């Protein structure tokens, strides 16, 4: 509003008292599993099966996720996030993946004498404080490149005993410049609250903080808090709190020490800087090439030498131990061609280097073939990094580059055109899918490492998932439910498939006993049996006309199709011959489910049958969640409530930091009420009368002054959800109305 000084007429626009709520999607799905290729541990959005194959490859004997995504889109899916998994040696470290990338080094066409060159493995590297690499450039003597890093830490100023007899004292702190963490001490945390020990204090802190730990000092009377990170990127800052009056931690920010930011994540740039800072040793250099460190001797020719003498690095190989020599005038490696992503798929590729179709002597052509079939052509490439047709820029372009390979210029010392890759055909080797030793935890992952399901942590709006095609184990399926319900605060719904080959008794035993899924949660549903689909590739899967697959991708696509079939589709049960039809399915793993008695056997255990009958398509014949005694025990109820909750939650963001008064509460009431009124028209509730369909309460009773002073605005929303029918009861009898009329008239 304009400042009121001289006389004037002032115009301003008032904000609306009723806000429209930005709705959230109900069909965005997350898949997690095995693919032929693609980025590992990174959730990638795809909007078609064609786009999926661009990122993750096509059919492969182990690629269970590929089938699921294909049938997701065939049944109505519109968008999904896909995460490829492999085996990790340390699930908390995403860099410990065991999948390997195929590669081949192609020599140049000959030139001057070359230096000795050693390339490292791909960084960054997970190391320990004190790890070192011993090098000798051109006989100049052993040089030791040491990695150092210590954690930041704060020691309490006060020694035990500590008086926590009041209870509820809080200590606030930040670790590694992150969010403010709060540790609350309760009297029950101590044997004697008025005389708490350093060991008890450390235990309380360790139970509540992340990215750090508390330890008892050497004297045994004080407590120190350290960051888990080692290096100059490590920070600890005690910011205050009533508990610090007792403990006496300094409140200054403490930084860790070392020559790297994080010993557990040493970058190529940091390692190159450490090697470069060594005393002169024959004039060698360390430079960055992609994600690697390239060592180059100072001398040229056959006498040029780099010796990698050894290291204390045990978990990873950075430089392979050995002696490396330059060469006299002749050829030297100029171009490394690798699989675009890790995996054995690139071992089936061949790289054909030919003369440029442009006729330019400084250019070359590259063809990529898969099992002899031409897949891609990149004409008229250059090895000069300032040219517009530079090989790395063209082939590695994220949008227009190769779907199969990546190129790395090895910086041949020869001049153009001698630095061009030699003519011929080259085959990458050494790829591995990383499936050896694959276990359930590789799918589940670690929150600390952002692996497994936790690759989804920073992705909003996922409503269905995480889905793990063909990984139907107790551990994985329970973890799927836990992630959706607990880690994502009930914002996701999980579709579970049955283990392979389960009969009616086996699936009941699995759900009820083996996996203990029956009664576990409203945030998931399980379906049985598996489904038959057409074999898409006899080359990959043999000559069988059909294959049996986990139905989760089919059902997820059907969910999305039902959601979009009519306004309020999320409130409609995704089941039955009309809305529950599974497209692209030719049969079932077992036809026992066609027997009504079999369905009667599995249905009471919250298992949704997939079945058919004469003249009907194959369809889902159940709508139960795994838990029958909760608030919203059916699939449409639970998914509908997720949609309502998440939409209202997002819509309330506009009211955060607003005045906490009667006016704001009235705006909140009107906004929620108008949204629910729209959902009523979409048949979300059991009645068409707003008075009995839902209730919105933001009254003074819920918001007394004590709540206002605490900065809280409370709203209670009650929903009378619409329930799908499960049985249709038909009663037939003899029509005796004519006889009764005759008797009545006699």
Residue found under tokens 């077992």: 590
Please name the residues in contact with 633: beta carbons below 8 A apart, sequence gap of 6 or more: 522, 624, 625, 627
Beta bridge partners of 46: 80
Determine the straight-line distance between the first and last CA of the chain, rounded to whole angstroms: 89
Q: What is the number of residues in the chain?
A: 746
Q: Which helix (H) or strand (E) holds 46?
A: strand 44-46
Given a contact cutoff of 8 angstroms between Cβ atoms, the answer to whether 249 and 174 are in contact is no
Measure the CA–CA gap between 176 and 172, rounded to whole angstroms: 14
Residue 280: the pLDDT is 61
Residue found under tokens 């990984």: 471
| Sheet strands side by side (includes 143-146) | 143-146, 132-137, 305-311, 322-325
Q: Does domain 29-88+437-622 have CATH number 3.40.50.11780?
A: yes
Given a contact cutoff of 8 angstroms between Cβ atoms, the answer to whether 683 and 571 are in contact is yes
336-432: CATH topology: Immunoglobulin-like (2.60.40)
Beta bridge partners of 146: 132
Residue 313: the pLDDT is 61
The backbone torsions φ and ψ at residue 450, rounded to the nearest 5 degrees and listed phi first, read: 65, 30
Q: Which helix (H) or strand (E) holds 674?
A: helix 662-681
Residue 359: the pLDDT is 93
- Could you read off the pLDDT of 6-31 as tens digits, one per residue? 887 877 777 776 777 888 899 999 99
E-assigned strand segments in 102-177: 103-107, 117-119, 132-137, 143-146, 149-150, 153-155, 169-175
Residue found under tokens 């044997």: 191
Residue ranges per domain, the chain? 29-88+437-622, 150-258, 336-432, 657-746
Q: Among residues 446, 596, 602, 581, which one has the least CA distance to residue 525?
A: 602
Residue 724: the pLDDT is 87
In 28-119, which residue ranges form alpha helices assigned H by DSSP?
49-56, 64-74
DSSP one-letter code for 195:
G
Given a contact cutoff of 8 angstroms between Cβ atoms, the answer to whether 249 and 154 are in contact is yes
Please name the residues in contact with 196: beta carbons below 8 A apart, sequence gap of 6 or more: 160, 161, 162, 163, 164, 185, 189, 190
Residue 593: the pLDDT is 97
What CATH number does the domain located at 150-258 have? 2.60.40
SS3 331: coil
Given a contact cutoff of 8 angstroms between Cβ atoms, the answer to whether 257 and 151 are in contact is no
| C-alpha dihedral sign at 650, 654, 657, 661 | negative
The backbone torsions φ and ψ at residue 664, rounded to the nearest 5 degrees and listed phi first, read: -65, -40
Q: From the centroid of its chain, how far is CA 86? A: 13
Measure the CA–CA gap between 70 and 82, rounded to whole angstroms: 12
Strand 464-467 and strand 143-146: pairing?
unpaired
| Matching fold, domains 29-88+437-622 and 336-432 | no
Q: Which portions of the chain are predicted below pLDDT 50?
A: none
Measure the CA–CA gap between 152 and 230, rounded to whole angstroms: 8
- Entry pTM: 0.73
Residue found under tokens 């139970």: 207
Given a contact cutoff of 8 angstroms between Cβ atoms, the answer to whether 469 and 66 are in contact is no
Residue 115 neighbours by CB distance under 10 Å: 25
Residue 739: the pLDDT is 83
Distances 687 to 568, 643, 675, 682, 694 between C-alpha atoms, Å = 15, 19, 16, 11, 9
Q: From the centroid of its chain, how far is CA 532? A: 29
Measure the CA–CA gap between 68 and 85, rounded to whole angstroms: 15
């Amino acid at each position: 509003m304009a400042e009121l000084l001289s006389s004037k007429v002032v115009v301003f626009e008032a904000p609306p008292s009723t806000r429209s709520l930005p709705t959230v999607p109900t069909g965005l799905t997350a898949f997690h599993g095995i693919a032929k290729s693609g980025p590992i541990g990174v959730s990638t959005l795809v909007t078609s099966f064609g786009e999926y194959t661009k990122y993750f490859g096509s059919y492969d004997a182990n690629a269970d996720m590929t089938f699921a995504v294909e049938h997701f889109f065939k049944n109505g899916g519109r968008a999904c996030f896909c995460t490829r998994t492999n085996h990790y040696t340390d699930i908390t470290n995403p860099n410990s993946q065991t999948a390997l990338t195929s590669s081949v080094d192609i020599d140049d066409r000959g030139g001057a004498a070359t230096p000795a060159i050693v390339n490292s493995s791909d960084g960054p590297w997970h190391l320990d404080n004190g790890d070192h690499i011993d090098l000798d450039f051109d006989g100049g003597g052993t040089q030791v490149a040491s990695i150092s890093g210590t954690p930041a830490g704060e020691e309490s100023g006060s020694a035990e005993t500590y008086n926590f007899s009041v209870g509820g004292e809080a200590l606030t702190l930040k670790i590694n410049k992150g969010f403010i963490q709060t540790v609350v001490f309760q009297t029950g945390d101590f044997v004697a609250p008025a005389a708490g020990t350093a060991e008890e204090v450390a235990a309380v802190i360790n139970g509540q903080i992340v990215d750090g730990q508390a330890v008892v000092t050497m004297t045994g009377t004080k407590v120190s808090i350290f960051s888990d990170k080692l290096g100059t990127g490590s920070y600890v800052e005690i910011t205050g709190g009533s508990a610090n009056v007792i403990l006496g931690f300094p409140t200054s920010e403490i930084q860790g020490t070392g020559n790297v930011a994080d010993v557990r994540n040493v970058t190529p740039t940091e390692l190159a800087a450490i090697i470069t800072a060594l005393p002169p040793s024959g004039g060698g250099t360390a430079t960055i090439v992609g994600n690697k460190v390239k060592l180059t001797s100072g001398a040229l020719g056959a006498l040029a030498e780099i010796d990698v003498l050894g290291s204390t690095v045990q978990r990873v190989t950075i430089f392979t131990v050995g002696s490396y020599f330059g060469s006299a005038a002749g050829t030297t490696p100029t171009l490394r061609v690798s699989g675009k992503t890790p995996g054995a798929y690139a071992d089936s590729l061949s790289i054909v280097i030919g003369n440029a179709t442009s006729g330019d002597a400084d250019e070359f052509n590259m063809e990529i073939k898969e099992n002899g079939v031409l897949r891609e052509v990149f004409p008229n490439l250059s090895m000069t990094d300032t040219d517009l047709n530079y090989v790395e820029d063209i082939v590695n372009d994220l949008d227009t580059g190769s779907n199969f390979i990546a190129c790395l210029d090895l910086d041949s010392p020869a001049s153009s055109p001698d630095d061009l890759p030699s003519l011929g055909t080259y085959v990458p080797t050494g790829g591995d899918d990383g499936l050896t030793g694959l276990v359930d935890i590789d799918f589940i992952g670690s929150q600390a490492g952002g692996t497994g399901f936790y690759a989804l942590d920073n992705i909003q709006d996922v409503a269905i998932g995480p889905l793990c095609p063909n990984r139907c184990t107790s551990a994985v399926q329970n973890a799927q439910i836990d992630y959706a319900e607990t880690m994502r605060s009930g914002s996701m719904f999980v579709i579970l498939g049955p283990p392979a080959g389960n009969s009616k008794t086996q699936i009941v035993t699995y759900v009820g006993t083996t996996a203990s899924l029956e009664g576990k949660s409203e945030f998931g549903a399980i379906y049985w049996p598996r489904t038959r689909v057409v074999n898409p590739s006899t080359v990959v899967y043999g000559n069988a006309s059909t294959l049996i697959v986990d139905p989760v991708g089919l059902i997820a696509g059907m969910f999305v199709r039902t959601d979009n079939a009519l306004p309020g589709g999320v409130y409609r049960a995704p089941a039955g011959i009309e809305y529950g039809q599974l497209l692209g399915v030719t049969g079932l793993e077992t036809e026992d489910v066609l027997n009504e008695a079999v369905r009667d056997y599995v249905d009471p255990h919250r298992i949704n049958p997939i079945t058919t009958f004469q003249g009907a398509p194959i369809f889902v014949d159940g709508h139960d969640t795994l838990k029958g005694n909760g608030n919203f025990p059916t699939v449409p109820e639970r998914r509908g409530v997720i949609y309502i909750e998440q939409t209202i939650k997002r819509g309330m963001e506009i009211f955060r930091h607003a005045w906490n008064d009667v006016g704001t509460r009235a705006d909140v009431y009107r906004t929620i009420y108008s949204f629910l009124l729209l959902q009523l028209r979409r048949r979300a509730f059991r009645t068409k009368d707003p008075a009995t369909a839902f209730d919105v309460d933001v009254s003074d009773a819920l918001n007394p002054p004590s709540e206002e002073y605490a900065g809280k605005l409370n709203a209670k929303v009650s929903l009378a959800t619409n329930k799908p029918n499960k049985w249709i009861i038909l009663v037939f009898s003899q029509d005796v109305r004519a006889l009764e009329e005759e008797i009545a008239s006699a």
